[in-house]
Amino acid sequence: MEHQPLKSWADSAATLVAVAAGRAPADMVLRGGKVVNVHTREVLDGWQVAISAGRFAYVGPDATHCIGPDTDVIELGGRYLIPGLCDGHMHIESGMLTPAEFASAVIPHGTTTMFTDPHEIANVLGLRGVKLMHDEALIQPISIYTQMPSCAPSAPGLETTGYEIGPDDVAEAMTWPGIIGLGEMMNFPGVVNGSQQMLAEIAATQNAGKTVGGHYASPDLGPDFHAYAAGGPADDHEGTCEADAIARVRQGMRSMMRLGSAWYDVETQITAVTKKGLDSRNFILCTDDCHSGTLMNDGHMNRVVRHAIECGCDPLVALQMATINTATHFGVERELGSIAPGRRADLIVTSDLRELPIERVIAQGRTVAEGGEISVTCPHLDWPEDVRQTVHLGRELSTADFEIRAPDGAKTVTAKVIGVVENQAPTEALKRTIVVKQGLLKPEDAVCQIALVERHRGTGEVVNALVEGFGYEGKMAMASTVAHDSHHMIVVGTDRAQMALAANRLAEVGGGVTVWKDGEELALVELPIAGLMSDRPAKEVAAKADKMVAAMQACGCTLNNAYMQHSLLALVVIPSLRISDLGLVDVTKFELTELIEETQ
């Protein structure tokens, strides 16, 4: 059955009233269960739910009067009804999937609403790319709201993007039907220093009555933090400790706590609620982000809720953080996020509020998944051919492109090294002594090379630096055109020849991720759409992603979901040390810095 656009509550009110009053039959009635009410934080045993026109018509002790001869009556056998889960902050592109395939991957896990920021594709294709994501999102059988990206580039002067986003773009996007607000304002130094462009984007969003997303990736909670809050961001997901969470809610912001494929920031922050006793309605759970392997194998928002409960959070509080809190924050509490009259009929049937098995998922009044299997079609756009041609190296790369030359006469150098931190987005700024052989830096042991290859304009430029923490061994390389946020190409390796092979391979296939060892390709995930997303089914992409992770392990990497760490090494708005197409970036100072400090 083809998905029809959902009528508004106002347009459906006459029908909903008639069903609730017993004058008209419901489309569906669920009875014999327990309704979790996230407004009151209570479980209503024996309450029944009637659905009509894709919305909840009646939620009460007895829906018998709503049942007609054609009503689909579902007997719950004592199981729970909980609202469909909402992801408050995420980027669909990081799943390696288009919006349609991402939806198909998360629907069986109980996600029925997502608030997405497509700033990955904005960096590659500009406003046109955002519109394509927005348009495919709108036709899905679940609710996918789009936040207009705020920062492309994320840090002007420190990176070069394929396209730039400005206030006029933001103002135009605010008129689109699926735009819910402004995506994370990553250029926090710009806001703090009164950047007219950043403040104009925020103003365009506020004037449209929409929500401004935050991103304050600094441990400094002094005047700069207060200045950022005064600029208008309404939430923040970059906190990593209890003090961060508390600081944000004290400023009237929502603290978004994330559990993604590689970001584990819930456990260290949720104590603000479980131990400090702060008002939990100001806290939101999110993913930011999950790649396809995590989605297919481990789950999505159901995984986050379970984790929060394991960290000591009351199950009903955790459910609020993944439903009504999120809806309230984005101004759609009267539209979704709870099982209450008039709201979109999004719910999950589960037998356990702690383990949260997802037994049936209903979205907008129809069953969309049952027993872990999707039961609806997620429509696809016909993505234009030119968006599949975005990897432009300008030339074939060679081993020489990945050489790091030492100053004349040097035998060793003291160099800055990007330090990867497991399960964290921030990096460390390390210093290591590196041996020089035949005039070239020869990193050894835990240190290997990293390169950023320009891929938007075909300049042929390669920036080389050093990274530590992956644990790679032997002759290997890994390359990816997913390189947040400018999305050039990141190549990490222990051998320059392997690095050249990997980079050229991605140019050949139009983008993706590849792992090489001893001259052979161990794994390849093709991502032809903007070099970020696959046009293949989610299960197929997840299988290739699993093979990629196994290939990284075969090269010696033991980090949890190290691919996500790899993809963020060029994210020049999160401390401490990053790489860009312009050089090595000290994010604590927001300035370019030299790789080599001194020679011996």
What is the CB neighbour count within 10 angstroms for residue 39?
A: 12
How high is the pLDDT of residue 186? Answer: 95
Distance (Å, whole) CA 532 – CA 388: 10
Domain boundary among the residues 273, 305, 336 is at 336
Backbone φ, ψ for residue 359 (5° rounding): -90, -35
Task: Answer whether residue 472 is part of any domain.
Answer: yes
The whole-number pLDDT of residue 600 equals 87
Torsion of CA 574, 579, 585, 588, to 10 degrees: 20
Domain membership of residue 32 (yes or no) is no
Q: Identify the three-state secondary structure at position 303.
A: helix
The continuous run of DSSP H or E covering 200 comes out as: helix 196-207
Question: What 3-state DSSP class applies to 177?
Answer: coil
Residue ending a domain, choose from 274, 306, 336: 336
Let me know whether 236 and 294 are in one domain.
yes
Please check whether residue 25 lies inside any domain of the structure.
no
Q: Are residues 299 and 395 in the same domain?
A: no
Residues in CB range of 38: below 8 A, 6 or more apart: 83, 316, 319, 320, 323, 324, 337, 338, 339
Residue 5 lies in a domain: no
Q: What's the pLDDT score for residue 2?
A: 52
590 closest CA partner among 229, 190, 237, 123: 190
Domains in the chain, number = 2
Q: What is the pTM of this model?
A: 0.96
Residue 359 falls within a domain, yes or no?
no
Give the per-residue pLDDT at 3. Answer: 56
Same domain membership, residue 225 and residue 100: yes
The structure tokens listed for 591 are 């300035």
Q: Are residues 486 and 403 part of one domain?
A: yes
Closest CA to 312 of 347, 280, 352: 280
Helix (H) or strand (E) holding 502: helix 496-509
Question: Are the C-beta atoms of 176 and 145 separated by less than 8 Å?
Answer: no
CA 553, 558, 509, 90 dihedral sign is: positive
Judgement on whether residues 325 and 413 belong to the same structural domain of the protein: no
Inside any domain, residue 275: yes
Residue linked to tokens 């760490």: 565
Contacts of 310 (CB under 8 A, 6+ apart): none
Tokens (6 digits) for 10:
């106002």
Give the number of other CB atoms < 10 A from CB of residue 177: 8
10-residue mean pLDDT series, the chain (600 residues): 79 98 98 98 98 98 98 98 98 96 98 98 98 98 98 95 96 97 96 97 97 96 98 97 98 97 94 98 96 92 98 98 98 98 98 98 98 97 96 98 97 98 94 97 97 97 98 98 97 98 98 98 98 96 96 96 93 96 97 95
Say which residues have a Cβ less than 8 Å from residue 167's Cβ, sequence separation at least 6: 197, 200, 201, 204
Report the distance separating Cα 567 and Cα 84, nearest Å.
30
Give me the CATH number covering residue 185.
3.20.20.140
Reply yes or no: is the peptide bond before residue 5 cis, omega within 30 of 0.
no
Clarify whether residues 238 and 96 are in a common domain. yes
**Residue 10 placed within a domain:** no
Q: Which amino acid is at 144?
A: I
Q: Are residue 295 and residue 390 in the same domain, yes or no?
A: no
Decide if 51 is inside a domain.
no
Structural domain for 435, as ranges: 386-593
In 3D space, the residue among 356, 285, 431, 296 whose CA is nearest the CA of residue 79 turns out to be 356
Same structural domain, 480 and 572:
yes
Clarify whether residues 300 and 407 are in a common domain.
no
Backbone φ and ψ of 457, nearest 5°: -115, 0
